[in-house]
A = this chain, B = another copy of it.
Amino acid sequence: MIYLREKRDLLAIGHAALDYIIQVKEFPQPNSSTAINNMFTFYGGAAANVAVVGSSLGLKTSLVSAVGGDFQGSDYQKQLQKLDINTQDMIVVENDKTPTAFVLTDENHDQIFYFYWGAAEKFKESEAPQNAIKSVRAVHLATGDPQFNLKCGKVARSEDKLISFDPGQDLHMYSRQDLERVLKLCDILFGNHHEIKRILKIINMDIDALREYGPSIVVKTMGINGSFIYSQEETKVEAIVREPTDPTGAGDSYRAGFLKAYLQGESLEKCGKFASAVASFVVEVEGCQTNVPNLEMVKVRMQEI
């Protein structure tokens, strides 16, 4: 019997996480306590962010993350299901928790970050989700586990999928060799300006050499300063600037927007503009998966560029 999977557009691989945003008057000294003024929880994790925004833009997305037993039946899972994101290949670690980030902010806007890796520790010993990869057009490798990303990238390459890669804040977790391996097999590299600079330094190449070596498209995002898209030519795209309440999630939503337009066959410039317009919504409200626009909303805002 052959089990036929529904074809999907985009598989995002990497973290789904819970973000706790905790506001305090001041950070307490050891062996003292403080009241929390405000606490918000948000759904996050770079791969989940891309899947959610992609889905809202009309892509059929799938998500492979490592989550805890707490995820099953959770509101987060229900939210992903409501968005018709295929989660059947998620790695569920019954006796651990979904990765969790605690971001504490005091009244001076200083921040302290605590990250709980939790279930995501199990990425490295997990097999690449062959069927999930086979059933999509494109695979996006987000923050998660370098080894797992590499495994998934190899399968995706052998299946001739479009592969995008965004190591993000995990860049330091990649050995030079692993980084080179993933770069070699991907088609599109995403990074902010710090990350792209650092990648070029690690592999000791310039953009052109990198594009020869691996990704034929390199997308460098620079927040309110817009983005550069490097391919045969160099395209600068302006950001659509909104009062940025909360820049977290901007990068992931840009990536989802870019991939949506790219998979639709748009020009790179159009991809960048579309991506900028998508990101401009997400920064308006706190959280990475909040104020996510649909296709119509993005089209209206794109006319501003």
Contact = CB atoms under 8 A, between A and B. Distances in A.
A275 to B, nearest CB: 27
A111 B30 contact: yes
A31 interface: yes
A113 B30 contact: no
Question: What is the interface of chain A mostly: helix, strand, loop, or mixed?
Answer: strand
A117 B41 CA distance: 15
Interface residues of A, number: 28
Interface stretch (A9-17, A21-29, A235-243): A21-29
Given A27-B30, A102-B102, A36 B116 contact: yes
A194 to B, nearest CB: 16
Query: Which 6 A-B pairs have CB atoms at the shortest separation, nearest pair first?
Result: A33-B113, A30-B110, A36-B116, A39-B116, A28-B112, A36-B114
Interface of A: 22, 24, 27-36, 39, 41, 97, 100, 102, 104, 106, 110-118
Stoichiometry, as copies per complex, reads 2
A183 B152 CA distance: 65
A70 to B, nearest CB: 8
Contact of A31 (B22, B35, B39, B110): B110
A114 B24 contact: yes
Contact of A113 (B32, B97, B118): B32
A96 to B, nearest CB: 9
A116 B40 CA distance: 11
Q: Which of A27, A30, A41, A113 has the most CB of B within 10 A?
A: A30
